[in-house]
Amino acid sequence: MSSSHLSPPAILLRDVVKRFGPITAVDHLDFEVPTGSCFGLLGPNGAGKSTMMRLLTGQGVADSGRVEVLGHPLPAASRAARAACGVVPQVDNLDDELTVAENLEVYARLQRVPRTERLAAVEHGLALARLTDRRDATAAALSGGMRRRLLIARGLVHRPRLVLLDEPTVGLDPQIRAQLWSQIAEIRDEGATVLMSTHYIEEAERLCDEVAVVHAGRVVAQGGPRELVAALVGTEVMEIGGDADDLRRVERQAREAGLGTRRSGTTVAVLGAEHLDGQAWATGFRRPANLEDVFVVLTGEELG
């Protein structure tokens, strides 16, 4: 991790450990989120991302290590940290008994937005969620995509300096996911620091300035998405299909050529394919390398 950023980090974790009985969910975790950046925690389900998010909102307390959010040490100053944070949870916890506008208003009150600014905050939230015309509908009556947009707007109703997005687009169809990406990009472009957890490669690559690849509660690599890909798996990958014997042969030949491979279903992906110059065994589908290749190389597991 670089320490070249001029402003203090928005989030700082040092040697953080969190256990649940015999399970170590967060294992000596270290990372910093630079102020003003969009930072991604990339890992499969069960990697410890949501536990990390709970530690940052004071809803989890680390067994050891140091956690700071916007300069506030946690858990001691978690209330001050939460006042400056907007949280968009993975689990949909909209208040179904309230209308769309009431959901925003109640959270504006909980966030202690001053009375004189509350109405404007609610209107801004409605516009952000593109639900102005559904303001009086109960949250229970909204579609999945609308609910997710409202969840994001609710997390931003007090215009936080730091936004924590836990799997913001999980379970949504591609069209709605694309809509939410533009919503998240707006947050980022307005200057808020964004920390988002995701297991979607495309999401991390499109939105994040920097990603931390998380596996078994640890950060196994960190950097800009393109830099990570280039450094660890090269720029291109060649997918080569065949039966089991063919795949084993490709793996052996790639190894002899000094290239890495990863199995993916019925194909072998040969990493660093830009170095393959017309070798007879290497014929297949060429594609750009991505963060999933990085993840598999680092952990031996698929993102899922």
Partner 1 sequence: MTTPTRQAPASAAGHPSAERPARRFEPAVVGAILYREWRVFRRVWFSTAFGSIVEPIVYFVAFGFGFGALVAEVAGMSYFDFMATGTIAIGILFSSVFPGLINGYARRTEKHLYDGQLAAPVTVAELVTGEALWHALRVTVVAGVTVLVALAFGVRMGPGIVLVAPIAVVTGFGFAATGAAFAAKLRSWHGIDIVISGIIAPMFVVAGTFFPLDGLPGWAQAVGYANPLYHCVELLRGAAFGFEGLLAPLGNLAALAAFNLLAWLAAVRLVRRALID
CB 277 within 8 A of CB 227: no
CB 257 within 8 A of CB 273: no
Residue 257 near partner 1 by CB under 8 A: no
Residue 295 near partner 1 by CB under 8 A: no
Residue 111 near partner 1 by CB under 8 A: yes
d(CA 58, CA 85): 11
d(CA 22, CA 42): 24
Residue 223 near partner 1 by CB under 8 A: yes
C-alpha dist (Å) from residue 93 to 140, 159, 190: 11, 20, 26
Instruction: Kindly write out the interface string for residues 2-41 of this chain, putting x where it contacts partner 1 by CB under 8 A and - elsewhere.
Output: x-xx-x----------x-x-------------xxxx----
CB 16 within 8 A of CB 28: yes
Residue 200 near partner 1 by CB under 8 A: no
* Nearer to partner 1 among residue 11 and residue 240 (C-beta): 11
List, as one string, the DSSP characters of 113-155.
--HHHHHHHHHHHHHHHT-GGGTTSBGGGS-HHHHHHHHHHHH
Smallest distance from partner 1 to CB 32, Å: 11
Residues 74-103 that bind partner 1 (CB under 8 A): 79-80, 82-85, 87, 89, 91-98, 102
Token representation of residue 29? 């975790």
C-alpha dist (Å) from residue 6 to 3, 9, 70, 84: 8, 9, 14, 20
Smallest distance from partner 1 to CB 30, Å: 14
Instruction: Kindly write out the interface string for residues 151-190 of this chain, putting x where it contacts partner 1 by CB under 8 A and - elsewhere.
Output: ---x---xxxx----------------------------x
What residues make contact with partner 1 under the rule CB under 8 A? Answer: 2, 4-5, 7, 18, 20, 34-37, 51, 54, 57-61, 79-80, 82-85, 87, 89, 91-98, 102, 105-107, 109-114, 117, 121, 154, 158-161, 190-193, 209-210, 222-224, 227-228, 231
